[in-house]
Amino acid sequence: MQPIHKSIAPALSFNGGYVDTVGFLALQGLFTAHVTGNFVTLGVSIVHGTSGALAKLLALPVFVIVVGVTHLSAARLNRRGLASLHPLMIIHTLLLAAFFGLAVWLGPFKDGDSVAALITGMTGVAAMAIQNTVSRQHLKAAPPTTLMTGNVTQASIDVFSLLGLKDGKEREVIMQRLGPISRSLLGFTLGCIGAALAYLAVGLWCLVVPVVVAAWTCVEAYKRKADIN
Instruction: Please report, in tens digits, the pLDDT of each residue of the chain (229 residues total).
Output: 455 557 788 999 999 999 999 999 999 888 898 777 777 777 766 776 665 678 888 998 999 999 999 999 988 888 887 778 889 999 999 999 999 999 999 989 999 889 999 999 999 999 999 999 998 888 877 888 888 888 889 889 888 888 877 777 888 888 888 888 899 999 999 999 999 999 999 999 999 999 999 999 998 877 765 444 4
Would you give the end-to-end CA distance of the chain in angstroms?
Answer: 19
- Write down the domain spans for the chain: 4-145+190-224
Whether pTM > 0.85 for this model: the answer is yes
Alpha helices in the chain (DSSP H): 4-26, 35-48, 53-79, 85-106, 115-137, 148-162, 168-202, 208-224
With CA atoms as reference, report the closest residue to 145 among 15, 2, 29: 15
8 A C-beta contact, residue 168 and residue 175: no
What is the sign of the dihedral through the CA atoms of 114, 104, 18 and 122? positive
Given its phi and psi angles, is residue 51 left (phi above 0), alpha (psi -120 to 50 degrees) or beta?
Answer: beta
Q: Which of 29, 21, 20 is nearest to 53 (CA)?
A: 29
Q: How far is CA 31 from CA 37, 59, 183, in A?
A: 6, 8, 22
Q: Under a CB-based contact definition with an 8 Å cutoff, are residues 151 and 184 in contact?
A: yes
